[in-house]
Structure 1
C-alpha cells in the first residue's frame, strides 16, 4: 500500500501535502503546487462546499455533500488535527448558500405545499429566516412559515437543527463574524466544478486509483491556468468553439 503512495508522490511531486493514517483517522490533503502562482486567493477567496473523507476500514474514498453529518464530522476532524486539538471548528464552517436556495426552490415548487398565489410570500419569509438577527423576529418568522405553510414543518425543523442553523442563518449562529458576513459564497461555477469532480471520482473504488484520478484532475486544472498565463492559450471544453 505504501509503495503505491510513493509512486503517486513521484508521479505528482509536491501535490500531497500531508497524510494522517491511523486506526482512528485517515486523512490525505493535496493541492496543485503552482495554483498560488496564478490565483490570488486573498483577493478572490473561493469557498467550496465539499469534503472528501477516507474511511480506513474500507479503504475507499467517498464524497460527502452539503449540510450532511459526514461533511461536518469530516471538517471538524481535519480542523481538530491541524489546530492541535482545538474544538471550535464550527466557528469556521459556512454552509452552502446554493444548496439552501435549491432547497427553498424545491419545496416552493410543490404547489400542494406552497400555493402559487403565496409563492412570493414564502420566498420573502425564507429571506427573513436567513437575515433576521434578534430572537423575537426569528421566532415570529418561523411561526409565520408554519402557520401559512403547515406542510413545511418537517422541512423547517431540519434546517433549524443547531449545527445546520449555525452554518446558514444569522440568528443563533456561532460562525465567526467576518466569515458570516463575508460576501464570498458558493456559486454556480463552484457547483459545476463539483459536478465534474463527482462524475470523475467514483465511490466504492480502491483508494490508490481514486486518489490518482483526483490528482490527475487537479493537475489538469493547474495546467489549464499555466497555459493561459504563460502562453495566452484559452481553455476549451469542446472540440468546436461555442458561438
Structure 2
C-alpha cells in the first residue's frame, strides 16, 4: 500500500473478513500510510500473532517499529496520535466531542456487534424475530447518535470521516452480507434514513473501497462455515451411535 509514514515500519496482522481488522485498514488507508499486511489463519495462528497479543491471541495487531498495539479501537486511536501529521485527524479536537465519540464507539461494539450474534444462531422464526427487533433498536439509537455527532454534516466526524465513522465502517460489508443472508436490512430508509445515506457515502470513499471486502465473499464464507459445522455435527452423531 502506498502512502506516507516518515519511514516508520508498520505491519498489520489481520484476517480479511474481520470487521475489527477492517476498521484498522480503513484508518491506515485514510491516513495514507504504507504498511505490510499479514493475513492470519485463525485456526493455525502464527507465532508472531501469539507473541504479539498473548492475552487475547486475536487480530488485529498493529506492529509499529517492532512494538505491538492490540485491540482495534485502541489501534485506530494510536494511528491517529502516532501519525498526526498524516491525513485528516480522526479523533475530534474538542475533549468533550472525543469523549462522545469514544462512548458511541463502545456502544457499537457492545450493542451492535452482540446484537448480530443471535441472528446467526437463530433456529426458529421467533428467535429470528427477536434478534431482528434488537438490531433495529440498536440502529435507531445509532441514528440519533449520527444526528448528534454530525450536526447535519455528511459523517459522524462532520465534513470529513472521523473516528466513529471508522469504527462503525468496519462493519459496513457485513451489513450488506447480513441483508443477503437473512433478508435483514438493518439500516432501513424508513427507520434510519441518516444511516442509510451515511453508509452509501462511506462505502464510496476511495480510501474505503481500497480495503473493503466484497460482501458476496462474506456470504460464501458464512455458508462454508455453516457447512463445516453441520458436517462436524454429523460426525459427532455418528460417533455417538
Alignment TM-score, normalising by the size of structure 1: 0.30
Higher relative contact order (Cα pairs below 8 Å, separated by 6+ residues): 1
Question: Structure 2 length as normaliser, TM-score?
Answer: 0.30
From the two aligned structures, give the one with the greater helix fraction.
2
